[in-house]
Protein backbone atom coordinates (compact mmCIF):
# COMPACT_ATOMS: atom_id res chain seq x y z
CA UNK A 1 0.00 0.00 0.00
CA UNK A 2 2.76 2.57 0.73
CA UNK A 3 3.99 1.83 -2.77
CA UNK A 4 0.63 2.81 -4.24
CA UNK A 5 0.48 6.00 -2.27
CA UNK A 6 3.93 6.77 -3.57
CA UNK A 7 2.98 6.16 -7.18
CA UNK A 8 -0.18 8.24 -6.89
CA UNK A 9 1.81 10.96 -5.16
CA UNK A 10 4.47 10.81 -7.84
CA UNK A 11 1.88 11.24 -10.52
CA UNK A 12 0.41 14.24 -8.76
CA UNK A 13 3.84 15.79 -8.26
CA UNK A 14 4.60 15.08 -11.91
CA UNK A 15 1.48 16.94 -13.03
CA UNK A 16 2.21 19.83 -10.70
CA UNK A 17 5.73 20.06 -12.05
CA UNK A 18 4.49 20.07 -15.61
CA UNK A 19 2.03 22.80 -14.70
CA UNK A 20 4.61 24.96 -12.96
CA UNK A 21 7.20 24.69 -15.74
CA UNK A 22 4.70 25.77 -18.41
CA UNK A 23 5.01 29.55 -18.75
CA UNK A 24 1.49 29.84 -20.16
CA UNK A 25 0.03 27.97 -17.22
CA UNK A 26 1.86 30.11 -14.68
CA UNK A 27 0.95 33.34 -16.49
CA UNK A 28 -2.65 32.19 -16.62
CA UNK A 29 -2.68 31.36 -12.94
CA UNK A 30 -1.14 34.72 -11.98
CA UNK A 31 -3.66 36.65 -14.10
CA UNK A 32 -6.60 34.71 -12.74
CA UNK A 33 -5.46 35.25 -9.15
CA UNK A 34 -5.01 38.93 -9.96
CA UNK A 35 -8.55 39.05 -11.36
CA UNK A 36 -10.05 37.51 -8.25
CA UNK A 37 -7.94 39.53 -5.82
CA UNK A 38 -8.52 42.90 -7.49
CA UNK A 39 -12.26 42.33 -7.71
CA UNK A 40 -12.65 41.09 -4.15
CA UNK A 41 -10.40 43.72 -2.57
CA UNK A 42 -11.39 46.57 -4.90
CA UNK A 43 -12.84 48.80 -2.14
CA UNK A 44 -9.53 48.65 -0.26
CA UNK A 45 -7.17 48.87 -3.23
CA UNK A 46 -8.93 51.54 -5.25
CA UNK A 47 -7.32 54.94 -4.66
CA UNK A 48 -10.62 56.82 -5.10
CA UNK A 49 -14.33 56.27 -4.75
CA UNK A 50 -15.35 55.04 -8.21
CA UNK A 51 -18.26 57.45 -8.35
CA UNK A 52 -16.59 60.46 -6.74
CA UNK A 53 -16.62 63.30 -9.25
CA UNK A 54 -13.68 65.66 -9.44
CA UNK A 55 -14.86 68.21 -11.98
CA UNK A 56 -11.64 70.28 -12.09
CA UNK A 57 -9.69 67.13 -12.98
CA UNK A 58 -12.13 65.91 -15.66
CA UNK A 59 -10.79 64.38 -18.87
CA UNK A 60 -7.30 64.23 -17.44
CA UNK A 61 -4.84 61.96 -19.19
CA UNK A 62 -2.83 59.37 -17.29
CA UNK A 63 -0.84 61.10 -14.54
CA UNK A 64 0.68 60.02 -11.23
CA UNK A 65 -2.47 61.20 -9.51
CA UNK A 66 -4.84 59.35 -11.84
CA UNK A 67 -2.79 56.54 -13.35
CA UNK A 68 -5.45 55.70 -15.94
CA UNK A 69 -6.82 59.21 -16.33
CA UNK A 70 -10.33 60.45 -15.54
CA UNK A 71 -13.61 60.60 -17.44
CA UNK A 72 -15.78 63.51 -18.40
CA UNK A 73 -17.13 63.72 -14.86
CA UNK A 74 -13.66 63.57 -13.38
CA UNK A 75 -14.05 60.06 -11.94
CA UNK A 76 -10.86 58.08 -11.57
CA UNK A 77 -10.76 55.45 -14.36
CA UNK A 78 -8.43 53.11 -12.48
CA UNK A 79 -10.76 52.96 -9.49
CA UNK A 80 -13.70 52.42 -11.79
CA UNK A 81 -11.86 49.56 -13.49
CA UNK A 82 -11.21 47.88 -10.15
CA UNK A 83 -14.85 48.19 -9.19
CA UNK A 84 -15.92 47.09 -12.67
CA UNK A 85 -14.04 43.87 -11.99
CA UNK A 86 -16.55 43.12 -9.25
CA UNK A 87 -19.37 43.11 -11.79
CA UNK A 88 -17.35 40.85 -14.07
CA UNK A 89 -16.58 38.49 -11.20
CA UNK A 90 -20.21 38.42 -10.13
CA UNK A 91 -21.45 37.58 -13.61
CA UNK A 92 -18.65 35.07 -14.21
CA UNK A 93 -19.08 33.25 -10.90
CA UNK A 94 -22.85 32.97 -10.95
CA UNK A 95 -23.26 32.67 -14.71
CA UNK A 96 -20.62 30.00 -15.23
CA UNK A 97 -21.55 27.86 -12.24
CA UNK A 98 -25.28 28.00 -12.99
CA UNK A 99 -24.96 27.11 -16.65
CA UNK A 100 -22.36 24.45 -15.83
CA UNK A 101 -24.73 22.78 -13.35
CA UNK A 102 -27.78 23.02 -15.59
CA UNK A 103 -25.85 22.00 -18.71
CA UNK A 104 -24.30 19.03 -16.91
CA UNK A 105 -27.61 17.67 -15.72
CA UNK A 106 -29.43 18.28 -19.00
CA UNK A 107 -26.54 16.82 -20.97
CA UNK A 108 -26.40 13.67 -18.86
CA UNK A 109 -30.15 13.24 -19.18
CA UNK A 110 -29.97 13.70 -22.94
CA UNK A 111 -27.09 11.26 -23.24
CA UNK A 112 -28.46 8.58 -20.95
CA UNK A 113 -32.21 9.03 -21.25
CA UNK A 114 -34.60 7.78 -23.89
CA UNK A 115 -34.15 8.75 -27.50
CA UNK A 116 -37.11 11.15 -27.70
CA UNK A 117 -35.88 13.12 -24.70
CA UNK A 118 -32.44 13.34 -26.27
CA UNK A 119 -33.93 14.65 -29.50
CA UNK A 120 -36.06 17.17 -27.64
CA UNK A 121 -33.15 18.50 -25.61
CA UNK A 122 -30.93 18.66 -28.68
CA UNK A 123 -33.61 20.64 -30.45
CA UNK A 124 -33.81 23.01 -27.49
CA UNK A 125 -30.01 23.41 -27.46
CA UNK A 126 -30.04 24.07 -31.20
CA UNK A 127 -32.84 26.60 -30.96
CA UNK A 128 -31.13 28.52 -28.17
CA UNK A 129 -27.81 28.40 -29.97
CA UNK A 130 -29.45 29.71 -33.13
CA UNK A 131 -30.06 32.99 -31.38
CA UNK A 132 -26.76 34.88 -31.24
CA UNK A 133 -26.29 36.16 -27.68
CA UNK A 134 -26.27 39.82 -28.55
CA UNK A 135 -29.34 39.54 -30.74
CA UNK A 136 -31.22 37.71 -28.00
CA UNK A 137 -30.11 40.31 -25.47
CA UNK A 138 -31.28 43.15 -27.70
CA UNK A 139 -34.65 41.49 -28.19
CA UNK A 140 -35.07 40.92 -24.47
CA UNK A 141 -34.01 44.38 -23.49
CA UNK A 142 -36.42 45.83 -26.01
CA UNK A 143 -39.14 44.32 -23.84
CA UNK A 144 -37.79 44.52 -20.32
CA UNK A 145 -35.37 47.41 -20.35
CA UNK A 146 -31.68 47.05 -19.43
CA UNK A 147 -30.61 45.41 -16.16
CA UNK A 148 -27.87 43.25 -14.75
CA UNK A 149 -30.36 40.46 -14.15
CA UNK A 150 -31.20 40.33 -17.85
CA UNK A 151 -27.49 40.10 -18.65
CA UNK A 152 -27.11 37.25 -16.19
CA UNK A 153 -30.13 35.41 -17.58
CA UNK A 154 -28.88 35.82 -21.16
CA UNK A 155 -25.41 34.62 -20.15
CA UNK A 156 -26.79 31.52 -18.48
CA UNK A 157 -29.27 30.71 -21.22
CA UNK A 158 -26.86 31.11 -24.11
CA UNK A 159 -23.98 29.16 -22.55
CA UNK A 160 -26.02 26.17 -21.35
CA UNK A 161 -25.97 24.49 -24.80
CA UNK A 162 -22.17 24.28 -24.95
CA UNK A 163 -21.97 22.48 -21.58
CA UNK A 164 -25.03 20.45 -22.42
CA UNK A 165 -23.58 19.26 -25.69
CA UNK A 166 -20.21 18.33 -24.22
CA UNK A 167 -21.88 16.49 -21.33
CA UNK A 168 -24.25 14.74 -23.72
CA UNK A 169 -21.50 13.60 -26.08
CA UNK A 170 -19.39 12.31 -23.20
CA UNK A 171 -22.36 10.55 -21.61
CA UNK A 172 -23.39 9.02 -24.89
CA UNK A 173 -19.89 7.67 -25.35
CA UNK A 174 -19.98 6.20 -21.85
CA UNK A 175 -23.48 4.83 -22.16
CA UNK A 176 -22.48 1.75 -24.08
CA UNK A 177 -19.13 1.16 -22.40
CA UNK A 178 -18.73 -2.09 -20.58
CA UNK A 179 -18.31 -0.52 -17.18
CA UNK A 180 -21.72 1.14 -17.32
CA UNK A 181 -23.20 -2.14 -18.51
CA UNK A 182 -21.36 -3.84 -15.65
CA UNK A 183 -22.97 -1.45 -13.18
CA UNK A 184 -26.38 -2.22 -14.66
CA UNK A 185 -25.66 -5.92 -14.37
CA UNK A 186 -25.04 -5.43 -10.66
CA UNK A 187 -28.42 -3.76 -10.30
CA UNK A 188 -27.23 -0.16 -9.80
CA UNK A 189 -30.00 2.42 -10.08
CA UNK A 190 -30.01 5.02 -12.82
CA UNK A 191 -29.25 7.85 -10.43
CA UNK A 192 -26.37 5.86 -8.96
CA UNK A 193 -25.01 5.22 -12.45
CA UNK A 194 -25.38 8.88 -13.47
CA UNK A 195 -23.98 10.52 -10.37
CA UNK A 196 -21.45 7.91 -9.21
CA UNK A 197 -20.13 6.60 -12.49
CA UNK A 198 -21.00 8.94 -15.35
CA UNK A 199 -20.50 12.30 -13.66
CA UNK A 200 -16.91 11.77 -12.46
CA UNK A 201 -15.94 10.96 -16.04
CA UNK A 202 -17.83 13.86 -17.59
CA UNK A 203 -17.10 16.65 -15.14
CA UNK A 204 -13.41 17.02 -16.00
CA UNK A 205 -13.79 18.27 -19.57
CA UNK A 206 -16.71 20.40 -18.40
CA UNK A 207 -14.65 22.16 -15.73
CA UNK A 208 -11.98 22.89 -18.31
CA UNK A 209 -14.67 24.20 -20.63
CA UNK A 210 -15.92 26.36 -17.75
CA UNK A 211 -12.49 27.93 -17.39
CA UNK A 212 -12.52 28.71 -21.09
CA UNK A 213 -16.08 30.05 -20.90
CA UNK A 214 -15.26 32.64 -18.22
CA UNK A 215 -13.80 35.05 -20.80
CA UNK A 216 -16.82 34.52 -23.03
CA UNK A 217 -19.17 35.39 -20.20
CA UNK A 218 -17.12 38.40 -19.12
CA UNK A 219 -17.04 39.61 -22.74
CA UNK A 220 -20.80 39.26 -23.10
CA UNK A 221 -21.32 41.35 -19.97
CA UNK A 222 -18.84 43.99 -21.10
CA UNK A 223 -20.29 44.01 -24.61
CA UNK A 224 -23.86 44.41 -23.44
CA UNK A 225 -22.90 47.07 -20.94
CA UNK A 226 -20.98 48.79 -23.72
CA UNK A 227 -24.17 48.87 -25.76
CA UNK A 228 -25.96 50.36 -22.77
CA UNK A 229 -28.20 47.35 -22.29
CA UNK A 230 -26.41 45.81 -19.32
CA UNK A 231 -25.07 47.52 -16.24
CA UNK A 232 -26.48 51.01 -16.03
CA UNK A 233 -24.46 54.13 -15.35
CA UNK A 234 -23.27 55.35 -12.98
CA UNK A 235 -22.32 51.88 -11.77
CA UNK A 236 -18.84 51.04 -13.00
CA UNK A 237 -18.36 48.08 -15.29
CA UNK A 238 -15.68 47.46 -17.91
CA UNK A 239 -18.39 47.78 -20.52
CA UNK A 240 -19.74 51.11 -19.27
CA UNK A 241 -16.20 52.48 -19.04
CA UNK A 242 -15.70 51.53 -22.70
CA UNK A 243 -19.06 53.03 -23.58
CA UNK A 244 -18.21 56.33 -21.91
CA UNK A 245 -14.77 56.19 -23.51
CA UNK A 246 -16.23 55.50 -26.94
CA UNK A 247 -18.29 58.67 -26.72
CA UNK A 248 -15.15 60.74 -26.13
CA UNK A 249 -12.80 58.59 -28.15
CA UNK A 250 -11.34 61.55 -30.05
CA UNK A 251 -10.56 63.61 -26.95
CA UNK A 252 -9.80 60.97 -24.31
CA UNK A 253 -8.50 57.87 -26.07
CA UNK A 254 -6.94 56.51 -22.89
CA UNK A 255 -10.34 55.52 -21.56
CA UNK A 256 -11.03 52.93 -24.24
CA UNK A 257 -7.47 51.70 -23.90
CA UNK A 258 -7.55 51.47 -20.13
CA UNK A 259 -11.03 49.97 -20.16
CA UNK A 260 -9.98 47.24 -22.57
CA UNK A 261 -6.81 46.10 -20.87
CA UNK A 262 -8.43 44.33 -17.87
CA UNK A 263 -10.77 42.58 -20.28
CA UNK A 264 -7.84 41.24 -22.29
CA UNK A 265 -5.84 40.23 -19.23
CA UNK A 266 -8.78 38.32 -17.80
CA UNK A 267 -9.47 36.57 -21.08
CA UNK A 268 -5.82 35.72 -21.51
CA UNK A 269 -5.56 34.43 -17.96
CA UNK A 270 -8.53 32.07 -18.15
CA UNK A 271 -7.62 30.89 -21.66
CA UNK A 272 -4.06 30.05 -20.64
CA UNK A 273 -5.20 28.37 -17.46
CA UNK A 274 -7.92 26.38 -19.19
CA UNK A 275 -5.57 25.18 -21.89
CA UNK A 276 -2.86 24.25 -19.44
CA UNK A 277 -5.36 22.24 -17.39
CA UNK A 278 -6.65 20.55 -20.51
CA UNK A 279 -3.14 19.63 -21.64
CA UNK A 280 -2.37 18.08 -18.31
CA UNK A 281 -5.61 16.28 -17.61
CA UNK A 282 -6.79 15.48 -21.09
CA UNK A 283 -3.76 15.11 -23.34
CA UNK A 284 -5.89 13.85 -26.21
CA UNK A 285 -7.51 17.25 -26.74
CA UNK A 286 -4.29 19.09 -26.19
CA UNK A 287 -2.04 21.24 -28.22
CA UNK A 288 -0.24 18.07 -29.15
CA UNK A 289 3.25 18.99 -28.16
Partner 1 sequence: MTIYLFKRFGLAAVVVMAVLLLLFSMLHMIPGNPAILALGTRATPEAIAEYSARMHLDEPVLKQFVYFLGSAVQGDLGEDVFSNRPVTAIIAERMGFSLALICTGMGWAVLLGVPLGCLAAVRPGSWLDRITGVFSVGTIAVPSFLVSIWALLLFSIQLRWLPAIGAGEPGNFADQLSHLVLPAFAIGLGWVGYLARMVRASMLEVMGEPYIRSARAFGLKPRRIVLGYALRVAILPTITLIGMGFGGLISSAVFAEIIFARPGIGKMIFDAVSDRNFPIVQGGVLVATGFYILVVLISDLLIAWLDPRVRSSL
Partner 2 sequence: MKDLANNTLLNIEGLTLDFLTNRGRVKALRDIAFPVRKGRILGIVGESGSGKSTVLWSILGLLAGNAQVTAGRVDYGDKNLLTLNAEGLRALRGEEISVVFQDPMTSQIPVLPYAQQMSDILYRRSMSEADKRKAAVDMLRRVGIPDPESRVDAYPHEFSGGMRQRAGIAMSMLTGPNLLLADEPTTALDVTMEAQMIDLMRGLRDDFETTIVVVSHNLGLIAEMCDDVVVMYAGEVVETGEVHDIFHNARHPYTRALLECDPARITDVSRKLPVIPGDIPDLTASLSGCIFASRCQKALPACSTTAPPLVERGTGIARCHLLEGPLADPSWPPPAEVSTVMRDTGKTLEASVKDAKPLLEVRDLNVQFRTMGAMKSRLRGVERPFVDAVLDVSLDIRPSETLALVGESGSGKTTLGRTILNLQDAAGGSVRFEGNDIRNMSERRFKPLRRDLAMMFQDPVGSLSPRKSVRALITEPLLIHGAEGRNLDFEAERLADMVRLPRGFLSRYPHELSGGQARRVGVARALALNPRLIVADEPTAGLDVSVQGEILNLMADLQEEHGLSYLIITHNLPVVRHIADRIAIMYLGRIVEEGPAAEVFARPAHPYTRALVEGVPQPDPDRRRQNTGTIKGEVPSLLRRPKGCDFATRCPLARDACREAKPEHRQIAPDHRHACLFPLRYADQQIT
Chain contacts with partner 1 (rule: CB under 8 A): 24, 123-124, 126-127, 129-136, 138-144, 215, 219, 222-223, 226-227, 229, 242, 245-246, 249-250, 253, 256-257, 260, 263-264, 267-268, 271-272, 285, 287-289
| Shortest Cβ 7–partner 2 spacing (Å) | 7
Report the chain's C-alpha Rg in angstroms: 23
In contact, 80 and 72? CB cutoff 8 Å? no
- Pick 73 or 268: Cβ nearer partner 1: 268
User: Which 14-33 positions form the footprint of partner 2 (CB under 8 A)?
Assistant: 14
Partner in contact with 53, chosen from partner 1, partner 2, none, beta carbon below 5 to 8 Å by kind: none
Cβ proximity to partner 2, 12 vs 47, nearer residue:
12
In whole angstroms, what is the distance from residue 25 CA to residue 18 CA?
9
- Residue 178 touches which of partner 1, partner 2, none (Cβ within 5-8 Å per kind): partner 2
What is the spatial distance between Cα 209 and Cα 35, in angstroms, rounded to a whole number?
19
d(CA 48, CA 111) in angstroms, rounded, equals 52
Candidates 24-32, 41-49, 92-100, 189-197; binding stretch for partner 2 (CB under 8 A): 189-197
Distance CA 97, CA 51 (A): 30
Q: What is the DSSP string of 44-70?
A: HH-SS-TT---GGGTT--S-SSSTT-B
Residue 251 is a binding residue for partner 2 (CB under 8 A): no
Contact 72, 59 (CB under 8 A): yes
- For residues 285 and 211, give the distance between their C-alpha atoms in angstroms, rounded to a whole number: 15
Query: Which runs of consecutive H residues, i.e. helices, occur in the chain?
Result: 2-20, 23-40, 42-45, 77-112, 115-129, 133-144, 148-175, 178-186, 190-192, 199-226, 238-247, 254-281
Entry field: residues in the chain: 289
Is residue 195 part of the contact set for partner 2 (CB under 8 A)? no
Q: Is residue 178 a contact residue for partner 2 (CB under 8 A)?
A: yes
Residue count at the site for partner 2 (CB under 8 A)? 23
Based on CB atoms, which residue is closest to partner 1, 216 or 236? Answer: 216
- Which listed range, 21-29, 53-61, 177-185, 229-237, lies at the site for partner 2 (CB under 8 A)? 177-185
DSSP state of 105: H
Q: Which of 24, 169, 201, 271 binds partner 2 (CB under 8 A)?
A: 201
Contact partner, 51, from partner 1, partner 2, none, Cβ < 5-8 Å per class? none
Could you give the count of Cα atoms lying within 13 Å of 120 in the half-sphere of its Cβ?
7
Half-sphere exposure of 271 (CA within 13 A, CB side): 12
Nearer to partner 2, 5 or 250 (CB): 5
Nearer to partner 1, 21 or 191 (CB): 21
Smallest distance, Å, CB 229 to partner 1? 7
With CB under 5 to 8 Å by kind, the binding choice for 179 among partner 2, partner 1, none is partner 2
* Residues binding partner 2 (CB under 8 A): 1, 3-5, 7, 14, 177-179, 181-189, 192, 196-197, 200-201
Amino acid sequence: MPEDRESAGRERREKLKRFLTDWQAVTGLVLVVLFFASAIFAPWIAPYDPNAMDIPARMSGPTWVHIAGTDQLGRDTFSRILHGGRVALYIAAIGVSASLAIGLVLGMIAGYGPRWLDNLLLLAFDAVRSLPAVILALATVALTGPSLTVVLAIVILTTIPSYGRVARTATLALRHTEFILAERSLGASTSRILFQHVMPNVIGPLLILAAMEVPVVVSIEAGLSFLGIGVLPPQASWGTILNEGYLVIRDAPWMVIAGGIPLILTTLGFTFLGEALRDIFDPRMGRGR
